[in-house]
Every structure is written in C-alpha cells, then in structure tokens.
Structure 1
Amino acid sequence: MTNNKPSIGILGGGISGLSAAYKLFQNNIAVTVYEKDNQVGGAIKTFRKNSWVVEEGPNTLMIKSQKVWDLLEDLDLIDKSIEAGKTAKKRFIVKDGQPTPLPMSLGSFLTTDLFSAGAKLQLLKEPFIPQSNKEDESIADFITRRLGKEPLDYAVNPFVSGIYAGDPKKLSVKHTFESLWDMEQQHGSLLKGMFKRDRSSNSPKRALLSFEKGNQQLPLAIADDLGKAVQTETEIQSVVKHDEKWIVKGQQKNDTFTDEHDIILSTLPAYSLSTIFEDSLFKPLNDLPYAPLSVIALGFTDKQIRHPLDGFGMLVPEAEDRKTLGVLFSSSLFPGRAPKNHHLLTCFIGGARNPQLAEKNKQELQKIVLSEISELLDITGEPVFSHFRFWPKTIPQYEMGYDRFLNYMNRAEDQQKDLFIEGNFRGGVSVPNCILCGFETAKKIQTFLKGQ
C-alpha cells in the first residue's frame, strides 16, 4: 500500500465482515475482504437445483431494525424479498408423539394440551416469584424457577435447539435470551415486563423474510456492491504486526501473497484466531464451544404427506427422546422452494443434544430422520429429492462462563487498538444481529481513524 489513505483488512467474507465492509466502503474508506471460499456468505449458503431451493444455513431473517431495512433498500433487495405467509406464526411442538400447535394467545394457552393445568396455574404465579440475585443463570434454571419444568421441556428446550442447536442446561440466559433476563432485572417478572414493553407505533416493521433466490442473495448483493474489494478463494495463513502495520500473508488461488493494512478486522471463527495471529492471548478462545449440525433437506410429492404443513415447522423436545431436532416446512414458508405439487422439508440433527449424531454420513442420517418424520407428519414412501450439509462447527454456544471469552476479546483489542474482533460468537448468532454488530464495528473503526 503506497498511498496515505488508511486501509482496512477484513478477515472473513461472512455477513459480519461484509456488513462492516459495506459501511466503511460507503464512507470512502479502503477495505479488502479476504474470503477463503469461492463465494461469500459464510454459513449463509443456498443450494439450488432444478426447482428446489435449499438453505444450508439460516433459513429465515427476522427483520425488526430500521438499519437492516435501510440496508435492504440500499441494495435494491426489498422488491426481491419474500415475506413468510401468515401460517408461519403457527409453530408445532411434538408432545406424546403428536405435532401440537404452540399456543400463541392467552385463549389458546388456556385450552392447549401442551401444558397441564398445574403448569398453567404456575404461570399465574410468575409475577410473585422473587427475583434472583445471581450474576448469571442457565436458561434451564431460569425458566424452571420462573415458569416451571413443563414450559422448559415443551417450549423453551425445543426453541433453544432450533435457534442455537444448544443445551438449555448449559447456555447462559443473560447472553442468549437477554430480553427475558432484562425483564426480571428491571420489572421483577416476565409477565410484568411483557405488559410494560414499549409498543410504540413508531417501531420499525417486523417481518420474517427470505429472498427470491434464497438467503445467500443478501451477502452476494453486498459483495457485488463492494466489487474488487472482495477477494474470494483467499486463505489467510498469518497476520503479524510490524512497524505500525499489519502484515497479512496467505494463499490466493494457488499463489502466495503478502498485503499490509493499517487496521485489521477479524470476523473469522473464534477457534481459528490463535493459529493465524500466533498470539497466546487468543488461545483461550479455542475453548469457546461450537455445536455440530447436519442439515437434511427432503422433497416429497404432495400426495406423500398427509399433514397439512400449515405452519413454520415442527420442533422436537428432548423429553420426547427422538433424534431429530426439528423440521422446517420450507415450501410452506416461502413460495418457489419446491416444484409444483411438491413439498420441501428441512430437517436438523445433532447439535449440543446429540453432537456425535451430526457426524454420521448422509445415508445413516436420512434413514433416521425419514423414519421419525414419516411417523410424525404421516409421510409415505421415499423422498423424491434430498440434499445434505454437515457443519462441524456451526453455532457458537454462549454457555455459562461466556463472560470470560468476552474479556479475552476485550483484552486483545485493548492491547492492539488497531485490531477489531467481530463475528457470531460476539453480539448474537442471528443474521440481523451480525449485520448490526458489523455496522457498529465499522463505526468504532471510523472513530478510531478520526482520533489518529
């Protein structure tokens, strides 16, 4: 780099790195995004074959921030987005071997078979349960203390598997369900907190979205806007500080390269940082747990499935003692996911509940999943389409004691003011969370540059 214009090296072309790069690029700051795969997106991967559209990673985007809406507007993606149908509000939970709708209103809660009369009575007692003075608590302990065991087993447990592929006995409520934690801290009760929530009419629109060509259309649109600033098929091997510059070395399409930057933003997985930066400060991040997950998409003709598939999907609680974590009714959620007169189901297996299962091959897992969902959804015959993706380390687990990992990252940034660390292991795992954290990091970098 021969000019005096500061340059930012961004490691990783997932949504976190791309979002930060986009904001910096908009402000005329030189960025280079390094991505080892041949396409950007990280875990946001869409597989397309004939008329089947399969999400290998995140299946939906819950948009509730004006900043994210503005991004979609800037990228001309609003008209290319697809909002989930009304049936998406209906969620099925398996109870006693039957898919049972999760109650979404007080009336349906009072009449549901999902919870016993005792569990419903326990909910009415929730406002009178004293507040905990613990600094943190597992999701399981928090929910059991405030709501009882049945809501944990047949509502929270399956949703934790659906969002984090995690174990509620290990995950921190403060870092995973911050809104629930804050309700108790601020109002002393979840019910009181829900009633007192700001329901301002000025709040941004909330919508569950995907895109015409699948979710990967979003990162691809950002990369298209960034142009030559994005370098794919580029694997970073080392990053070293030398004479106030960061020296980046790696391999690009079978050739080695060396670049230098004034600032480094790493959005690489936490477990990879210690080998790239060769700094003992990053070694503790190797212990940040990730859950393995296998995704099995199965296609059927409409005559093969008797269940109406009139909902978002079906989650399977751990208490039901089955191997499948859950199933999304993908073709019910969004149009264009399956050929005419066909259905696409996206199934998940493994996670923190059964990590060893995720590592089995496609044939074994498909046999397990097909056996279980055929019984639950009244499916006959073999699938007419299937697709498989294994993620050995898919979702970081914000478990009890997660604060220590945040402290390690904060310490690294304090020691090197021109180093920034971002990713789904810090600030939230959802796509919108990662976008907003990317924007916030871009703002921090701009503030740092102004102070130079």
Structure 2
Amino acid sequence: MVAPGSIAVLGGGISGLSAALHLLRRFNSPLTLIEGSHRYGGWIDSHTETILGSPVILEGGPRTLRPSSALLELLVLTNALHLARPMAARSPAMRSRFVHFHGTDGLTALPSKALGALFSPFGRTAIRGTLKDLFTRRTPAKNSDSDESIESFLTRRVQEPDLVNMVSAVVHGIYAADARVLSARVFMGPAYEYGSPVQYVFAPPSTKAKFRPPPEKYPLIDGALVPKTPFSIRGGTGSLTSALHDTISRETRFRGVLRTHVTAIQRRADGIELTLRGEDGTVTRRTFSHVVSALPMPTLQAVLPPRLQAQPVLNQTPYTNVTVVNLVFPRQRTPLHPQGFGYLIPRPASGYTDNTGAGVLGVIFDSCVAPQEADDRVVRMTAMVGGPYYPHLPEPDLSTLLATIGRQLGRREPLPAPLFARAVQAHRCIPTPTVGHLARVKSLKEALQREFQAKLEIVGAAVTGVSVGDCIAGARKAGESWKLPKNEHPKP
C-alpha cells in the first residue's frame, strides 16, 4: 500500500530541488527526490580549478541572474536557505555591453544611458523604434491563445530591421535559439498581451503582474535590494543548488535517489505508480500519492501513459544543444577585452547556414561579471557555442575558437595561449518555447489533471521559463492545492 501523503519529485535540477524544499516546508509528508544522473543541479555546474596555485570558479551553465520579478523568488529562497550575502558585488563594468556584427572585426558598444543613445548609431535606431511603437496604436492579444514569433511582433511594432535583428542576439544569450520561431507571448509576457512593449512601460499598475509573497512564513527580503543589473551568486551558481540539497537532506522525511531513471508513470487505484530503473538495470516499482515532475518534455513523453504521449507540447518543444567553453588566460599588460559584461552576436543576414563565426552565440567576460571568483593574475572568458547553428552537440576546435574570438574582439595580436580551457557539452539543455507554447502547456496540464486527479504536476524550464528565477518561481507553486497534512512547524 502507498504511504499516505507520500510525495515523489522527478528530476534533481534547480526546479526539482526547489520544489522539494517548498513541499517539505509546506507538508508533513515523506518526500523522495529521483535523479537520473550522478549529481544534483542539472545544467547548473560550478567547477573549481586550481590555476597558478589559486582556486578559480568556472561555470558550465548559468552564471548570472537577470533582474526580474522572478528574482524576488530567488531572494526569498536564498534567505530561507540562510545563505549569507548570496549576491556577489556587482562591478560597474557589468553595465557595459557589446555586440559583434557578422562581417566586421571588433565590438560595438551598446549605449547604457539615454543620453549616450543620441550619439550612437544603434542608439538612434533604438530611439526611432521606441517612438514608432509609442505612437502606433497598440494591438492587444485577442485571446489567451493568441501568439506569434517575437521577431514578427517586433517587426510590426518597432518597424526597424536593425533593432529587430538585435533581438536575435538577446535570444541567443537567453535561449540559444532562433528569434524567428520563439514565442512572443513567452518572451514578452504581459507586454505582448498589452499589445505594445513601449506603451506597456507606461501602463497603469493594475495591468501589471505583481510579486505574490509565498504563503509560508519566510522572512522576505525588501524588494528594494533587487539589483538593477545582472548579478552572480557568491561562490558560483552551484552553491545555490548545493545549499538546496544540503538543506533538504537534513529533513528526516527526505530521501534522495541518484542514478535512477523513471521509465513509466501510471495511475493506480491507490496512487501514482513509478517504474524505476537503477544504474545496474534493476527495475522496481514504487507508488506515491502525489508526484511533481521536473523532467524535460521529451523525457516526460516517453514515460507517460500512451494516451497522453500525443499531447503536442511533449513533441513540439525543441531543445538546443550548447557547448560552453571556459577559457582562463594569464593577465596581460594590454587588456584582452574591454571592461563589460561581454558581447552577443545577432543572427547572420543569410541565416544560420553562415557559420563563419564558428557557431559562437556570445562571450561573457567572467573577470568582470564575477571578479571575486579568481585572483587578478588571470583573465576569464566563457564562450557559448551551438544553438541554432548545430543540430547536434558542437565540438569546437580550440585554435579555431580562439582565432574567432580574437577577431570578434578586434585584436591586432592573437589571444595568448590559455592557462586552462574546458568544454562542457550540454545536450538538449534549453527548451525553445515556439509559437503557441503556453497554450500547449495549458493543454498538457489539463490532461494530467484529468488523468491523475490533480495529483501530478509539472514544473521546469519548459513550463515556467528558462531563467533560474523562473524555475524557482514555478517550483514554489507546485502542490499548493494539494490536500495533505500541513507542516505546522517549518524550519525558519
């Protein structure tokens, strides 16, 4: 017989770990976290390497967090985990951003202030596009299913091709995807529903979503502390997932299982039965009263009952392949790159068949983004390669990559030989929410609710958004409606 109120969480990435924490705090029920790989954390992968006798933190996945409403969720989470001063000091250089245009050598600085935009060719383009959108009648979404690509939406609104193409660079940095297929409703959110990205800024407060404090008694951090620029987690982003796992592991009601794959999910009279396959091939079956799945859509499709596998979102959500290359150089008398966050690269005019840029989507200047994670004798950069350029996992040649980055930086001299280089290949790591994605997610949720009597819920990047904050926000809401014994004494 199934234990009353037993919970299973499938997937041990940031979404699964966050869901486990909130469920343990909310309910007085045993919880099992099932992860197929050898480690928790998912794509978040902070690695410490000793270089020149000192530790250097390198990120194989997300390393910065964007300011947004979901960021408040992260602040709540870090406070609940008792992470002291989780946000690293932000260098003023992080306000400086650059773009590299195909067919050119060197970087173009993006204006960081309104006055600077007047003296920048791209800034003047942005001003023209802003004014066109501001004085064009807004076109609100007709209904909750209305959608189009972000490129189509902005082409209608700002009417500036160069500005629209710049959005492809932003999409590269967040989704490693093609802006021509990315959902405007997902990317723009309420601004798309309002019908104008610029006019939404001046919309009445009643039309804008607000942060909803969690029902648990968490000590909230004042929203005024939310940074205005991207920031990093002290000790690497992996310190967040490590703290999550350490915290939930101290709960006697928690059990974590690694190297175990879910191969089937079935509804039974006494609960939800999971078929599990261990690393040694052993197959077991366990039944839980409630389940939260943080599995990627293709993985979830393979384990659901056949009658649910035809749900469109399960087979119509593409995932990108990305290789992250960490580079550590000896510091030179002449700076290797300008002070700033890094640079992104818009889509080539001829499309992704043009691979003269070696498939580089962008480069982050880690020494500026997180200067506290290494001493000043080294310079760190990270290149993101792949996405729409490659249908498979890219395997960049180091010498070609260094030559490409040097040209993109506009250097007269080649980059020096790195002290350390590491390539992290992430297979199908970021979902691309294409046009109509949210409607398809809604359809799947409704089907799961009917099939499993509202006792199986889904979270994760393809459900709530790809940013770390979005994943945390979605995970907190998991199981809010479940009728289970409450935890009357959650740990502060």
TM value normalised by structure 1: 0.89
Partner of 1:153: 165
One-letter amino acid matched to 2:133: E
Secondary structure at the counterpart of residue 92 of structure 1 = strand
The one-character-per-residue Cα deviations of 1:271-330 (angstroms, maximum 9, x if unpaired) are: 011222243313441331111111111111121863443111111111376331100111
Partner of 2:65: 61
Instruction: Let me know the Cα RMSD of the aligned residues.
Output: 2.5
The question of whether the paired residues in 2 share the 8 Å contact of 1:99 and 1:376 is answered with: yes
Distance 1:8 1:119, change over 3 A: closer
If each structure's strand is expressed as a fraction of its own residues, which one has the higher value? 1
The question of whether the paired residues in 1 share the 8 Å contact of 2:129 and 2:163 is answered with: no
TM-superposed deviation, 1:231: 1.9
Among candidates 431, 441, 452, match of residue 478 of structure 2: 441
Partner of 2:241: 219
Among candidates 373, 381, 392, match of residue 405 of structure 2: 373
CA distance in 1, matches of 2:370, 2:448: 43
One-letter amino acid matched to 1:59: R
Residues 1:72 and 2:78 are matched in the alignment = yes
One-letter amino acid matched to 1:301: P
Residues 1:7 and 2:11 are matched in the alignment = no
The question of whether the paired residues in 2 share the 8 Å contact of 1:53 and 1:336 is answered with: no
The one-character-per-residue Cα deviations of 1:109-162 (angstroms, maximum 9, x if unpaired) are: 1111335x56643432322223336622211111122222111123x1100110
CA distance in 1, matches of 2:74, 2:125: 42
Distance 1:83 1:276, change over 3 A: farther
Among candidates 80, 91, 96, match of residue 90 of structure 1: 96
Among candidates 389, 394, 403, match of residue 424 of structure 2: 389
Distance 1:72 1:392, change over 3 A: same
Residues 1:205 and 2:225 are matched in the alignment = yes
The question of whether the paired residues in 2 share the 8 Å contact of 1:271 and 1:287 is answered with: no
Partner of 2:35: 35
Partner of 2:442: 406
Residues 1:246 and 2:272 are matched in the alignment = yes
Q: What is the correspondence of 1:260-279 to structure 2 with a 5 Å cutoff? A: 260-279=287-306
CA distance in 2, matches of 1:305, 1:409: 55
The one-character-per-residue Cα deviations of 1:422-444 (angstroms, maximum 9, x if unpaired) are: 11101111111111100011323
One-letter amino acid matched to 1:399: T
The question of whether the paired residues in 1 share the 8 Å contact of 2:331 and 2:376 is answered with: no
Distance 1:335 1:197, change over 3 A: farther
Partner of 2:218: none
TM-superposed deviation, 1:66: 3.7
CA distance in 1, matches of 2:32, 2:360: 41
CA distance in 2, matches of 1:224, 1:90: 36
**Where does structure 1 lack aligned partners over 5 or more consecutive residues?**
none
The one-character-per-residue Cα deviations of 1:361-382 (angstroms, maximum 9, x if unpaired) are: 24x2x33321211122225232
TM-superposed deviation, 1:395: 0.8
**Where does structure 2 lack aligned partners over 5 or more consecutive residues?**
211-221, 487-492
TM-superposed deviation, 1:41: 0.8
Among candidates 280, 298, 301, match of residue 330 of structure 2: 301
TM-superposed deviation, 1:235: 2.1
Secondary structure at the counterpart of residue 369 of structure 1 = helix
TM-superposed deviation, 1:59: 1.3
CA distance in 2, matches of 1:106, 1:212: 31
Secondary structure at the counterpart of residue 409 of structure 1 = helix
Q: Which runs of 4+ in 1 moved over 6 A?
A: none
The question of whether the paired residues in 2 share the 8 Å contact of 1:301 and 1:343 is answered with: yes
CA distance in 2, matches of 1:236, 1:326: 35
Secondary structure at the counterpart of residue 480 of structure 2 = helix
The one-character-per-residue Cα deviations of 1:344-398 (angstroms, maximum 9, x if unpaired) are: 111011112x024x52324x2x333212111222252322210111122011111
Partner of 2:365: 329
Among candidates 448, 468, 480, match of residue 431 of structure 1: 468
If each structure's helix is expressed as a fraction of its own residues, which one has the higher value? 1
Residues 1:359 and 2:393 are matched in the alignment = yes
CA distance in 1, matches of 2:154, 2:89: 31
The question of whether the paired residues in 1 share the 8 Å contact of 2:260 and 2:277 is answered with: yes
User: Which deviates further from its counterpart, 103-112 or 126-135?
Assistant: 126-135
